[in-house]
Amino acid sequence: MLAPKRRPDHLRNRRRPSLVRAALLGLALLIAGDASAWPSRDRHDPTPPPIDPGDSRSVLSVLPEPGPSLRKKRDALEELGVRLTGKYIGEIFANTSGGLRQGAAYDGRFRLSLDADFGKLANIPGLALHASGLQLHGRGIDALYVGALMPPSNIEASRATRLYELWLQQSLFDDRINIRAGQLGSDQEFMYPIWGAVFVNGAFGWPVVDASNLPGGGPAYPLSNVGARVTLNPNAHFSFLAAVLDGDPAGPQTPFDNADPQRRNPDGLRFRMRDPRYVIGEAQLKYGLNGLDGVLKLGGWRHFGQFADQRWGTDFLSLSDPNSNGVSLQRHGDQGYYAILDQQIGAGAGPGRGAGFFLRAGLTPNDRNLVSASADAGVSFVGVIDARPDDLFGVAVGYARISNGARGLDRDTAFFNNPLAPIRSSEELVEATYIARMASGWYLQPDLQYIRRPGGNAPDPRDPTGVATLHNSLVLGLRTLVRF
């Protein structure tokens, strides 16, 4: 996570707000009901923050805001200490070859966010409130047509209207210490490659090595967990983040529950606090090389729940063995480690223009996880065309490795049941995307993705012999994004 800006001196001592201001805040809370804070960002926004928010050289500054009249109204509300923001993403994707089958699907997401600065509202410096809610509709392309481990869309989710985040944050000692507590989405701060924000595939946000293995996909969009996070910023170059959260945003599945975690917690209001804990920590080193900014992140996580062995049963026979009792051996706990490098590689002719790349890799144990390793990398360009200074372009690649345990189970299945049954191995992805600013606050994003071996060379469910695998998938998409 990037260190938030320090409050300017002239804002640290504000007069106590009037009853009118307090009433306006209450009204805003009632109207919004949900909603991203000044210290928070929507990680599915293709306009990521700068590596150093105070450095005008950074090429990843936020793209232009909506029109002047709307900005004026927003500024007036922000003077009172309240910020309301909304964003709609709508997209249509078509799987033109391979995958589960060919076809097209439309889905969309509206996000409404409320942020309150209690330094302005109640003369409590450093205290902020954030609430965000999601309205999700349509049908996603991956579940219907592709069947990939790395889903083509980072907004695909079950239809719902849900609370996403709700937390309080306190900054202390000029933001050298920052504490946040409430319902949190870890993907908003942890494991995130800044230069990967332009890409649409979900694997470039919350990594596939975590989404495929953690209960409910982990504390990441569209689910979130109750917990707390602390950030230490001893200086401008080093930050450390750590969080402790409930380990299952939807709760364990029972014979009477829906298998989809999102449908087990459809409104985001379960607020689970008694599941085994999930702990994550990340160290960040910010540096500059010849005037170009970079960030190195090293992190790891630990989940204290029970995880099913991918290959062996409690009777120590393969789960594919006809003599097995079919009950998976339980492993205590799970963990993962990751590293991220974000590096600016070129500065453009003006502020917020240039180029940069990211590298990211993650590992988890082989015996209790479907995916044991993932890696991705990409390069993005901002404003490199003089006639289109606000446009973005990027190319990225992704890789997900099927664990040794899951591969071993496939080999056992071939040995006991079908010698021609496929052995899963890995899934690879290439994405090319372009974001064009059409008008103030409105963007269009054509997107192309090629997914090799969807599902890691998964069997084709349409083949009754169990021999064929899903063919390589070519996905074309068009996304529209409106902000206000």
Which DSSP category does 143 fall into?
I
Cα first-last separation, the chain: 24
In this model, does residue 57 exceed pLDDT 60? no
Q: Residue 286 sits in which domain range?
A: 18-483
Give residue 269's pLDDT.
Answer: 92
Give residue 61's pLDDT.
Answer: 38
**CA 82 – CA 73 distance, rounded (Å):** 11
pTM of the model: 0.84
Beta strands in 185-291 (DSSP E): 225-232, 238-246, 277-289
81 versus 296: the higher-pLDDT residue is: 296
Residues in a beta bridge with 379: 357, 395
Residue 7 lies in a domain: no
Residue 202 lies in a domain: yes
Helical axes 68-80 vs 19-32, angle rounded to 10°: 120
CATH of the domain at 259: 2.40.160.180
pLDDT single digits (tens) 199-253: 999 999 999 999 999 999 999 999 999 999 999 999 999 999 999 999 999 888 7
**CA 323 – CA 316 distance, rounded (Å):** 11
Which DSSP category does 419 fall into?
T
Give residue 67's pLDDT.
Answer: 60
Task: Give me the phi and psi of 120, to 5 degrees please.
Answer: -85, -40
pLDDT single digits (tens) 388-414: 888 999 999 999 999 999 999 999 999
Give residue 168's pLDDT.
Answer: 96
Residue 103 lies in a domain: yes
Residue 43 lies in a domain: yes
Residues in a beta bridge with 339: 298, 361
Region for 455 from its dihedrals, namely left if φ exceeds 0, alpha if ψ lies in -120 to 50, beta otherwise: left
Region for 266 from its dihedrals, namely left if φ exceeds 0, alpha if ψ lies in -120 to 50, beta otherwise: alpha
In this model, does residue 42 exceed pLDDT 60? no
Give residue 259's pLDDT.
Answer: 77
- Which residue type is seen at 86? G
**CA 288 – CA 354 distance, rounded (Å):** 15
Checking DSSP bridges between strand 471-483 and strand 354-363, what pairing results, if any? unpaired
**CA 444 – CA 438 distance, rounded (Å):** 7
DSSP run (H or E) holding 35: none
In this model, does residue 26 exceed pLDDT 90? no
Residue 410 lies in a domain: yes
In 88-182, where does DSSP find H-type helix?
118-121, 141
Residue 51 lies in a domain: yes
Confidence category of residue 65, pLDDT binned at 50, 70, 90: low
In this model, does residue 4 exceed pLDDT 60? no
Q: How many domains does the chain have?
A: 1
**CA 222 – CA 298 distance, rounded (Å):** 25
In this model, does residue 49 exceed pLDDT 50? no
Residue 5 lies in a domain: no
Structural contact between residues 241 and 279, judged by C-beta atoms closer than 8 angstroms: no
The answer to which of 17-26, 102-111, 179-188, 264-273 has the lowest mean pLDDT is 17-26
Residue 86 lies in a domain: yes
DSSP 3-state of 36: coil
* Residue from 249, 182, 149, 187 nearest 44 by CA: 187
In this model, does residue 282 exceed pLDDT 80? yes
Query: Rounded to an integer, what is the distance from CA 137 to the centroid of its chain?
Result: 18
DSSP 3-state of 211: helix
Q: Determine the average pLDDT of the residues in 301-326.
A: 96
12 versus 98: the higher-pLDDT residue is: 98
- Which residue type is seen at 137? H
Confidence category of residue 387, pLDDT binned at 50, 70, 90: confident
Give residue 93's pLDDT.
Answer: 97
Q: How many percent of the chain have pLDDT more than 70?
A: 83
Query: Rounded to an integer, what is the distance from CA 272 to the centroid of its chain?
Result: 20
In 364-481, where does DSSP find H-type helix?
404-416, 454-457
Give residue 43's pLDDT.
Answer: 53
**CA 189 – CA 200 distance, rounded (Å):** 18
Residues 6+ apart with CB under 8 A from 8: none
Give residue 73's pLDDT.
Answer: 73
